[in-house]
Amino acid sequence: MSLKAILGATALAAGLWVSAASAETLRVLAWEGYADPDWVKDFTKQTGIDVDVVFVGSDDEIWAKIKGSEGKDFDVMAVNTAQLQRYIDADLVKPWDLSKIPNQKQVLPRFQDLSKITGVTRDGKAYGIPFCFDSIGLIYDTDKVKTAPTSMSVLWDPQYAGKVLAYDNGEHNFSFTALTLGIENPFQLSSDQFATVKAKLLELKPNVLSFYTTADEALQIYQNNDVALIWANYGQQQLKAMQKVGAHVAYIAPKEGSLSWLDNWAMTSGVKDEAAAEKWVNFLLDKKIGAQLSERTGFGNTAAASSNANDNDKLVWLESVEDPLKRSDLWNEIKASQ
């Protein structure tokens, strides 16, 4: 709640700060770090369009704000690929006219062909313009793991028994284990595949020291225990936070593919001025801004190369899973087994 209050206050402050003059105002709903004041200022200077930014703290909050006003309260919003689907289903977003966003042609190779990115297009129309991403890779202790691992399968290696920190989330654990087992679509498992993945996860348990939920928690456990491998839900941010306190750790994106989230700019169905929204996105897909985004947040950007992913890394964009309840129940069973 308090976080929300702070975010709300920041948003209000930001709103007051930018709503200075001019007739045209672009209403932006975004995550912290996606619409920094200096960018907003430059954008207004370049285009003469004022920007009202409201920051959000959770996916559900975005949904509540957009659904609550049927998209009329905002022009553009940042939303991840998995979430974007329900906005398309509910007709709350409008497809982009890519010819109005020339900078999209200059982005990193993997983001250039939108049709290759699961979730951002539907029926040939682009609903999301990729902007920010991160992978869920593997952090390993370079003192304890001599050769850099290449796959998540190292988590099952008996020599690391009791030295693995896993993440306490059934959905992700089923997905990454499915990838490790070579299952084509880790988000839509058949019942046979569920059984295989569950058995594999049960085998992981003896290797696991503990299941963590926050990056801080993982760091604290790492500092007080003999930990060799961490399933890094918080990606590069988590790595950097660990390196900052002097931990000898490195990060790999597994060869079978890393689960990755991808935030996109989407235009609401209630958009007032499409041209302004297009200019905003085009403005942000700039190499300089991309580099600043990565530097400030630790996330990957789509415009300029960052340490978050090589062009060769296989990133698997997160999708909604077939049955979250089933995954959660099975995960409980796995944790409950002795």
Residues that bind other proteins (CB under 8 A): 162, 166, 168-171, 205-206, 208-211, 213, 217, 220-221, 223-226, 324-325, 328-329, 331-333, 335-336, 338
Choose between 226 and 295: whose C-beta lies nearer to other proteins: 226
Work out how close the CB of 66 gets to other proteins at its nearest, in angstroms, rounded to a whole number.
19
Q: Which of 186, 189, 141 is nearest to 165 (CA)?
A: 141
Measured distance CA(197)–CA(34) in Å, rounded = 36
Work out how close the CB of 213 gets to other proteins at its nearest, in angstroms, rounded to a whole number.
7
Work out how close the CB of 169 gets to other proteins at its nearest, in angstroms, rounded to a whole number.
7
Work out how close the CB of 205 gets to other proteins at its nearest, in angstroms, rounded to a whole number.
5
Q: Classify strands 229-232 and 164-167 as parallel, antiparallel or unpaired.
A: parallel
Q: Name the token pair of 130.
A: 């990729």
Work out how close the CB of 47 gets to other proteins at its nearest, in angstroms, rounded to a whole number.
41
329 — phi, psi (to 5°)? Answer: -65, -45
Measured distance CA(19)–CA(271) in Å, rounded = 18
Work out how close the CB of 320 gets to other proteins at its nearest, in angstroms, rounded to a whole number.
10
Q: Name the token pair of 116.
A: 């290759």
Choose between 49 and 321: whose C-beta lies nearer to other proteins: 321
Work out how close the CB of 60 gets to other proteins at its nearest, in angstroms, rounded to a whole number.
11
Choose between 170 and 254: whose C-beta lies nearer to other proteins: 170
Choose between 147 and 224: whose C-beta lies nearer to other proteins: 224
- Given a contact cutoff of 8 angstroms between Cβ atoms, the answer to whether 281 and 130 are in contact is no
Residue partners of 283: CB distance under 8 A and separation at least 6: 39, 42, 43, 46, 47, 103, 289
Work out how close the CB of 147 gets to other proteins at its nearest, in angstroms, rounded to a whole number.
23
Work out how close the CB of 318 gets to other proteins at its nearest, in angstroms, rounded to a whole number.
15
Choose between 210 and 282: whose C-beta lies nearer to other proteins: 210
Q: How far is CA 186 from CA 86, 104, 105, in A?
A: 20, 29, 30
Choose between 221 and 305: whose C-beta lies nearer to other proteins: 221
- Given a contact cutoff of 8 angstroms between Cβ atoms, the answer to whether 317 and 81 are in contact is yes
Choose between 171 and 273: whose C-beta lies nearer to other proteins: 171
Q: How far is CA 335 from CA 103, 166, 198, 229, 294, in A?
A: 47, 12, 11, 19, 36
Choose between 54 and 204: whose C-beta lies nearer to other proteins: 204
Q: How far is CA 279 from CA 23, 56, 109, 136, 241, in A?
A: 16, 22, 22, 31, 34
Task: Determine the 3-state secondary structure of 251 from DSSP.
Answer: strand
Q: Name the token pair of 301.
A: 């950007």
Choose between 37 and 206: whose C-beta lies nearer to other proteins: 206
- Given a contact cutoff of 8 angstroms between Cβ atoms, the answer to whether 214 and 174 are in contact is no
